Structure 1
Amino acid sequence: MSSPTSTPHSAPYYFVPGPSRWPMLAGISMLVTMAGASGWVNSLPWGPAVCLVGIAAMLVVLYFWFGDAIGESERGLYGKRIDLSYRWSMSWFIFSEVMFFGAFFGALFYARAVTMPWLADLDHKILWPDFAAHWGNTGPAGVVDGFQTMGPFPIPTINTALLLTSGVTLTIAHHALRAGHRAKTAFWLFATILLGAIFMGFQVYEYMHAYSDLNLKLTSGIYGSTFFMLTGFHGFHVTMGAIMLAVILYRVMKGHFTPDNHFGFEGAAWYWHFVDVVWLGLYVVVYWL
């Protein structure tokens, strides 16, 4: 608790927010979203509607939750200790995301480097007569429909260029903010968000191409499940990162940041650069190898 004589920038000060309904409502919204997504994947009629309701509820919760946090910051309630706690919190959050994607990359590695060679040493009659130990195996006839694998050209390569460019534009925006150029910061932030939106547009087109032309689906064996889980969750993180940057753009335009006090910008930038790095891993492991 803060002492009545301390100020936000004095050593003993630490702002303790009051009780908030937003964490509980965010958890409920996420539960509804996941329930709807599960129903959607399993072709249940109520799945899409429930999933969209959960997403809408989550966006509303985040709007008011972000608003409360921004209001506290603008009232000068956050000092150096709060800034440090935010930095550690964002660092641990990104670390948890590293573990999240690491689990999926690990599953992909196990399927390709361990399972396939192991199955190749077995009697093919135990599996099926035409079994071939290569990645993208379609499985026995009648169990998994035939499909084609996704190559690196042209969409994945274009998307790689888009995300790498977005990392550059975001860095330029950061330098502009540190130099006190609000208009330039807003311009380059908008460019970053636009590049992210174009990336997602190409990702949607790639999924349409996979379903309609390659017959590649989530149910297409271990290849389909790992492909869509990795690229799908990455796309979700790009979307969330773009939302974060949109909030930061609004705050830049409102003059909430100064050259010396702008961790909100830095935290969103850390997240966006993390998303870039994950995509580079996906581009090499999923599309090239």
Structure 2
Amino acid sequence: MSSAKHPYHLVDPSPWPFAAGVSALVVAFGFISFMHGEGNTLFYVGALLLVLTAAAWWRDVIREGEVEGHHTPIVQIGLRYGMALFIASEVMFFVAWFWAFFDVALYPGAASPELIARKEVLGGVWPPLNMEGKLFDPWGVPFLNTVILLSSGVTVTWAHHALREDNRKHFLLGLALTIILGLTFTSLQVHEYDIADFSFTEGIYPSTFFMATGFHGAHVIVGTIFLIICF
């Protein structure tokens, strides 16, 4: 609890960090089971538990800030720094996936002895020979989702500026449009996965494709949930 002696909020004991950790562990085991063809029930159970835990945790945070007044200016600065560091860690996370993709895309041949195995697997070309005729048309769903993603950046920026100008009507409209675009993006990505002619286990191209776009899609889902909470 914060007091008159300091501007910090000392959080009361909460079950939500432990519950979130257990839920995330169930999600991880469920995903592994799904990848081994053992069904997706455990994954969905873990995901549901994680969503419920997050909702309860957000409820407490909102109450602490808006009702109990514990989010002092110092606490708010800490929250901003925490989010900035989180975003920086996410940037580096995706840098690793892009690095993996472009490393094999730009150097599919054996430029050195340690890359001979790469040439044997990829055929010395990119995309790999086993992906011929299986790739998406970049001007189809991928292009449409890119437009939707960029448009959502415009609408959420509009909502942000409207909030700073205390224009609640435009803020809610911009936020609603962003949520709709986020849900549309997720729906199209699910459709894209459903119609894909390649699977996760067919080599480095599909594995990097599904890991990078899958994690990105997960971030879009989480971001959309955050915006729904704000709405």
Task: Verify same fold: TM over 0.5.
Answer: yes
> Which is worse superposed, 146-155 or 60-69?
146-155
Aligned counterpart for 1:82 among listed residues 59, 75, 78: 75
- Of all paired residues, the percent bearing the same amino acid is 37
CA 1:127–1:72: 2 relative to 1, 3 Å:
closer
Aligned counterpart for 1:208 among listed residues 194, 205, 208: 194
How far 1:102 sits from its partner (Å)?
Answer: 1.3
How far 1:146 sits from its partner (Å)?
Answer: 6.6
How far 1:5 sits from its partner (Å)?
Answer: 3.2
Structure-1 separation of matches of 2:11 and 2:209: 42
Aligned counterpart for 1:32 among listed residues 15, 26, 29: 26
Partner of 2:100: 107
1:155 aligns to 2:148 (yes or no): no
1:172 aligns to 2:158 (yes or no): yes
Partner of 1:240: 222
Mark the runs of 5 or more structure 1 residues left unpaired by the alignment: 7-11, 140-144, 250-289
Mark the runs of 5 or more structure 2 residues left unpaired by the alignment: none
How far 1:119 sits from its partner (Å)?
Answer: 7.0
Contact 1:147–1:216 (8 Å) recurs in 2: no
Q: Whose relative contact order is higher, 1 or 2, with alpha carbons under 8 Å and at least 6 apart?
A: 1
Structure-2 separation of matches of 1:203 and 1:180: 35
User: What's the CA shift string for 1:10-65, capped at 9, x where partnerless?
Assistant: xx3111111111111101000000100011011014xx110001000001100110
Contact 1:37–1:51 (8 Å) recurs in 2: yes
Please identify the structure whose Cα radius of gyration is greater.
Answer: 1
Number of equivalent positions: 228
Partner of 1:137: 128
Partner of 1:260: none
Q: TM-score, normalised by structure 1?
A: 0.73
The DSSP-based 3-state class of the residue aligned with 2:110 is: helix
How far 1:171 sits from its partner (Å)?
Answer: 1.1
Q: TM-score, normalised by structure 2?
A: 0.90
User: What's the CA shift string for 1:156-177, capped at 9, x where partnerless?
Assistant: 1111111111111111111211
Structure-2 separation of matches of 1:81 and 1:246: 26
Structure-2 separation of matches of 1:127 and 1:5: 69
Contact 2:105–2:127 (8 Å) recurs in 1: no
Contact 2:123–2:129 (8 Å) recurs in 1: no
Contact 2:198–2:206 (8 Å) recurs in 1: yes
